Amino acid sequence: MAQRAGENKDLLTRLADAGEDAIQRLGDVPGGRRVIETMTGMRERIDELQRRVRGLDELEKRVTELEKKVASSESAAPRKRTTTRKASATPPRTPTQKNG
């Protein structure tokens, strides 16, 4: 079994070397340098995107905790009663009529 693990490592090493060679050859092909630069830029943007997504996960956890706190404080706090406005002792005004 140790021999098989060594074979796998050797295979992975050969694949990595072949990939490096292919990238170097791509740099020699006309327009290849531009492809490499684009791939490098994409990698940097993907890394930035992953960092932001990890930040969103943390924000979602905080929002969930805050929602639980608000829900528990609403259920624990006594509810205020709304009162209706009392009727006044004076009768309502009527529009004045002009004599004429």
Residues 62-75: tens digit of each pLDDT:
999 999 999 998 88
* Integer CA distances (angstroms), 23 to 3, 41, 42, 99, in order: 30, 15, 16, 102
Domain ranges of the chain: 30-71
pLDDT(82) > 70? no
Please state the pTM of the whole predicted model.
0.38
What's the pLDDT score for residue 64? 95
Res 35: pLDDT:
83
Task: Kindly list the distances between the CA atom of residue 100 and the CA atoms of 9, 38, 97, in Å, as whole numbers in the listed order.
Answer: 111, 90, 9
State the pLDDT at residue 86.
63
